[in-house]
Structure 1
Amino acid sequence: MPFLNVSGATIYFESKGHGPHILLIHAGIADSRMWENEFHSLAKQFHVTRFDLPGFGQSSFTGGTFSYTKLINKLLTHLSINQTHILAASFGGKIALNFVLEHPERCLRLALQSSAIGTWDFSQELQEYDEKEEQLLAQKRFEQAAELNYQTWILRDRNPESLDPKLKKLVIDMQMAAFTRPEPPFSVEEEASMPPIPDRLSQLKLPVLVIIGENDVPDFQNISEFFNQTIVHSEKMVIPNAAHLANLEAPELINQLLISFFHS
């Protein structure tokens, strides 16, 4: 399996297909397995690469200072890719935005699914969620922390029987892989040195597709609207009956949107 050593981390990645390149960046409650459908479907028309962020899936931190932007740059260079489209979800969206703002010449189009933004006035609901997750992880109650994430981000207030049980199993499995992985001390370069993303969004000149699930956390619905209002060349699509990882609940609709957007 292909691995790439970068400063502070060892990264697992895989590529497939031919044509214009698309880089897939997963959410913080997932790993590259969340893109299973998109990876194979988009590869019929594009050259697609997915990878695990360090600390997720099969990628690991190796200690010291780490940079997400440098990681993406090195991965693209390793693949001999000068320019790429990017599809990113949640925490991965925040990483993608930082990369595109630092290296606009390397990105053609950007699709953001329930993207995070960094600095934001988060609701009481999410503040309480953060506190509860930290408590559970500190107590090494990893299964309960994974269940909390599934209920907060995926199930929401819906009937559990209305969702495919395979969806819950995948999310729990991805979370457990991250929670139970021992990691050395590390620091992330961009977090301290870059200006806040909201202050830089007006700099984006490339086309941006903003995807949000109808049942997503209200904070992220507000963030998606902020993106749509602030980014000059943006369009917003609301996915019916889906929550934070809409591509796992409406794969066919998401594929249609992505193919149309990246072919434009």
Structure 2
Amino acid sequence: MPFVDVPGGYLYYEQHGTGPDVVLLNGGLTDTRMWSSTVAWLADVARVTVWDCRDRGLSSVSSSEYDELGDLAAVLDAAGVSRAILLGVSDGARQALAFAHRYPSRVARVCAVAGSFGEFPSPTPAEAGARVVMRAHFAQQAKILETGDIPTAAANDITAWCPAVDLDAHRFLVGLAIANSRIMLMPEDNARELDPPIKHRFAELAVPVSVLVGEHDFQGTQLWAYRLASEAPDTTLTVLPNADHMPMLSAPDAFRTFLLNALTSTSPAPAPAKT
């Protein structure tokens, strides 16, 4: 099992297949297992790296702030990845975009799926209304967590975010949320992001971005997708009518088409310089 040491901890990662490098970034309450159905086919056409952020999966817990982008760079270095397509879902999309901002030469493309960025800067009326709905869900979650009932909190969260998945996928995601419940109980995530955060800097991105969102996701997530697609310089936007926050599980065929299109439209890594 490959691990890489980082300041104050260690990170777990796996690598599968051969071909152009694709690095997968997990959603906030999941770990590398969320990608099992994706890796099963993607490893036939790409070299796929999956990894766990701190406080999730098999990576170490954190006791203080840490550099989340430095962690990803350490995983890429350990895995021998010089330049890759980054595919991030939910909070993983935010991380992928932030990494592309800091290290553009290491990123061939970002696939930002159901990106989660929190409050909108200077929100439109529609964005402000969507955040009211989100805050109501978070308040409901907080009430459940006050009782210590992790399974109920996990099920409530997955039901809200992923209403389009089938029963097996729902149970799978609830299990992942329970397994990674430490992050639910932390007052705040110790990951340190860009300053100012990437949500203020979409226009500065220097890499192509493929944006994907499902029509069964929260309206706030959908509006963030539209904002990202309108502000970043080089973007495409795909909206899936049957997908929710986890389109690899709620609309797997359409998700596969989206990702394969991103692969075929991305320039390969430059050849090593001759010595």
In the TM superposition, what whole-angstrom CA distance separates every residue of 1:146-176 from its partner, at most 9, and x where no partner exists?
0111121012xx7xxxx42111111110000
Q: Which residue of 2 aligns with 1:21?
A: 21
Of stretches 126-135 and 225-234 in structure 1, the one that deviates more from structure 2 is 126-135
Shift of 1:65: 2.8
Equivalent position SS for 1:35: helix
Gap runs ≥5 in structure 2 = 121-127, 266-275
Answer yes or no: is the 8 Å Cα contact 1:94–1:118 preserved in 2: no
In the TM superposition, what whole-angstrom CA distance separates every residue of 1:59-93 from its partner, at most 9, and x where no partner exists?
23242331110001111111121111100000111
Distance 2:152 2:195 in 1: 34
Distance 1:225 1:132 in 2: 27
Distance 2:139 2:196 in 1: 26
User: Which amino acid is the alignment partner of residue 175 of structure 1?
Assistant: A
Q: What count of residue pairs does the alignment treat as equivalent?
A: 256
Q: Which residue of 1 aligns with 2:222?
A: 221
Answer yes or no: is the 8 Å Cα contact 2:31–2:52 preserved in 1: yes
Identity score, percent? 25
Q: Which residue of 2 aligns with 1:140?
A: 148
Shift of 1:12: 1.7
User: Which amino acid is the alignment partner of residue 215 of structure 1?
Assistant: H
Structure 2 vs 1, CA of residues 248 and 137 (structure 1 numbering), >3 Å: closer, same or farther?
same
Matched, 1:176 2:178: yes
Shift of 1:28: 1.3
Equivalent position SS for 2:179: helix
Matched, 1:67 2:77: no
Distance 1:86 1:261 in 2: 11
Over the aligned positions, Cα root-mean-square deviation in angstroms equals: 2.1
Q: Which residue of 1 aligns with 2:191?
A: 188
Structure 2 counterparts to residues 117-128 of structure 1, below 5 A: 117-120=117-120, 121=128, 123-128=131-136
Answer yes or no: is the 8 Å Cα contact 1:119–1:198 preserved in 2: no
Structure 2 counterparts to residues 30-179 of structure 1, below 5 A: 30-120=30-120, 121=128, 123-155=131-163, 163-179=165-181
Equivalent position SS for 1:110: strand
Shift of 1:40: 2.3
Distance 1:138 1:3 in 2: 34
User: Which amino acid is the alignment partner of residue 144 of structure 1?
Assistant: T
Shift of 1:180: 5.2
